[in-house]
Amino acid sequence: MLSTVVFWIAAVLAVAGAIGVVTLRNPVHTALSLVLTMLSLGVLFLLLHAEFLAVVEVLVYAGAVMVLFLFVVTLLMAGVKPPREEHHLRLAYQTLIAGLFGLILFVLVLHSLVGAGWVGTLAGPQGGSFGTIASFGTALFTRYLLPFELTAVVLLVAVIGVVVLGREQE
Amino acid sequence: MVPIGYYLVLSAVLFVIGGVGVLSRRNPLQMFMAVELMWNAVNLSFVAFARQYLDMAGHIFVFLVITVAAAEVAIGLAIIVMVFRKREHVDVDDLSLMKG
């Protein structure tokens, strides 16, 4: 019962934040409403017994990634103007067309979900140790050790790439 | 318990809103944040399926997705800063170098 109430509160906040991301004009406001969505998703992760991922979502996404975004927004926006109102390459009715495509995509996804029988299916039985940080760590460092090690390579490539890109061009 | 389908529909709603954002915004930073929203929507459905099947593989995959997303944000923001540093406006429609 309580989990239903928490789900609806978090879901409404997540959708509200998402609508804010798409509609707010000021990039700082956009970033803050994205933080709202991520915090709500963290609550939903807890409801789904993903304890570690809830913490990671708040720390890495709402914390580190969004701080990076806000840094760039404040650094870049300081000397640069927002997009022009008129532009010779502007697509006419761009927002309308985007909304139409979104509606079509949503109907398609919903149709496939209903077709697969997923809407209304009850969640599976509560597993004993499922979702605890201990079971996450066991899975990460035994069966999925190689993919975990490979993420280190991905991060190394990202670091090198940022250093190369951020250098002053001669 | 909340049915799994609710989570999947919520994930679809967030994904579509993010997609509309990518298509309709002109500020590259805001387009990028809409992409982040789409990543998060997919993460939610991964976690929901993991809960349904009681399989930790979904959690591991979300963990990897978050790592890749962090790397992507770092590189993407570096590219955006590099491209728009010397321009007057932050507007993706200005990037018409490859227009035929």
Segment B10-56, tens digit of pLDDT? 999 999 999 999 999 888 899 999 999 999 999 999 999 998 888 88
Beta bridge partners of B89: A81
Is this prediction's pTM over 0.80? yes
Min CA distance, A112 vs chain B (Å)?
Answer: 11
Among A22, A41, A118, select the one facing B8 at the smallest CB separation.
Answer: A118
Cβ of B68 and A154 within 8 Å? yes
Min CA distance, A136 vs chain B (Å)?
Answer: 7
Interface check A133 vs B, CB under 8 A = no
Query: Domain limits of chain B?
Result: 4-92
Cβ of B23 and A154 within 8 Å? no
Q: How far apart are the first and last CA of chain A?
A: 63
Residue B85 φ/ψ, nearest 5 degrees: -65, -40
Per-residue pLDDT reduced to its tens digit, A37-91: 999 999 999 999 899 999 999 999 998 999 999 988 888 777 777 777 777 777 7
Among B20, B44, B77, select the one facing A98 at the smallest CB separation.
Answer: B20
Q: Which CATH class for the B4-92 domain?
A: mainly alpha
DSSP string, B5-44: HHHHHHHHHHHHHHHHHHHH--SHHHHHHHHHHHHHHHHH
Q: For chain A, what is the largest distance between any 2 Cα atoms, rounded to a whole number of angstroms?
A: 63
ipTM of the complex: 0.91
**Helix ranges restricted to H, chain A:** 2-23, 27-47, 51-56, 66-77, 94-115, 133-141, 145-166
